[in-house]
Structure 1
Amino acid sequence: MTTQAELDDRYGRTARPVRRRLLWGALIAVAALGIGWLGWTAVSNSVEAVSVDGLGYEVRDEHTVEVSFQLTAPEGRSVACAVQALDKEFGVVGWKIVQYEGDGDHRMRHTETVPTVAEATTGLVESCWVT
């Protein structure tokens, strides 16, 4: 006759060892920390995000381009932007870094004059970031 203990052992109904429970607990804790870190990274990146919309450009002469743009930044934070002028082969012929102090408004419209070394065909904002 088969005893209850032999049946439990045969069909895997024995009590789980403590090690297995600790391993699962550690895996769950690591997964929760990983998800929390990903969430924090996503939130912190979006809080510091700066978006730029190009409004246009005007080639004034062979050594000057005016670039107009609007940027949206975190309220009260200083922002820097890289503005550049390109020639017909998309080579950079002029650029400058401009900084704007956080004045409490999160939307700002600007027009910047970019000096060039050759005639440009376009002007644009390469990127903006919180300083």
Structure 2
Amino acid sequence: MTTESTQAMLDDRYGRSSARSRRLRWIVLGVLAAALVGYLGWTTISRTMNQVDYDTTGFRKVDDHQITIDFQVTSQPDTAVACAIEAQDTEHGVVGWKVVEYPADPAHTRRFSETVPTTALATTGLVTSCWIP
């Protein structure tokens, strides 16, 4: 056996590598890291593009069997949205609910006011969720 082949055999046995294989390993790790960062960035952006935010801004008791709920919806412009609205009693039981759909609009944030019929006296009203239909 020659010195070079003996050295190569010992390097293989004990995990030592040449500068070329170390460089190749770093290149592969860099490519994998860049691909992972790209994937995470894309999934984050694609989720936020279709996100709908909503805030209940107030409610008014109309009578013992109706409540009006004021809210705003923020979504991508020119996107139709749908929202679920609830009226609740003092024990947070649902006494009325409604699903409303709104057509696409060029505004980024829109304000709405909806009257919900109730089966009993409602003490609060809120938007429980909004989505893109």
TM-score normalised by the chain length of structure 1: 0.79
Cα separation, 1, equivalents of 2:119 and 2:32 = 55
For 2:5, the aligned partner's letter is: A
For 1:55, the aligned partner's letter is: T
Larger displacement relative to structure 2 (103-112 or 33-42): 33-42
Answer yes or no: is the 8 Å Cα contact 1:86–1:123 preserved in 2.
yes
Cα separation, 2, equivalents of 1:4 and 1:82 = 76
Cα separation, 1, equivalents of 2:49 and 2:132 = 10
CA gap 1:91/1:102 in 2 versus in 1, 3 angstroms:
same
For 1:111, the aligned partner's letter is: S
State the identity as a percent: 45
Tell me the CA shift for residue 126 of structure 1: 0.4
CA gap 1:59/1:36 in 2 versus in 1, 3 angstroms:
same
Matched ranges for 1:1-131 at <5 A: 3-11=3-11, 12-13=15-16, 35-131=37-133
| SS across alignment from 1:8 | helix
Answer yes or no: is the 8 Å Cα contact 1:8–1:14 preserved in 2.
no
Tell me the CA shift for residue 86 of structure 1: 0.7
| SS across alignment from 2:59 | strand
Cα separation, 1, equivalents of 2:41 and 2:105 = 29
| SS across alignment from 1:75 | coil
For 1:97, the aligned partner's letter is: V
For 1:57, the aligned partner's letter is: F
Cα separation, 2, equivalents of 1:14 and 1:95 = 68
Q: Give 1:18's aligned residue.
A: none
Answer yes or no: is the 8 Å Cα contact 1:57–1:68 preserved in 2.
yes
Tell me the CA shift for residue 119 of structure 1: 0.9
Cα separation, 1, equivalents of 2:9 and 2:96 = 78
Tell me the CA shift for residue 99 of structure 1: 1.0
Larger displacement relative to structure 2 (38-47 or 87-96): 38-47
**Contiguous gaps of at least 5 residues in structure 2:** 19-23
For 1:91, the aligned partner's letter is: G
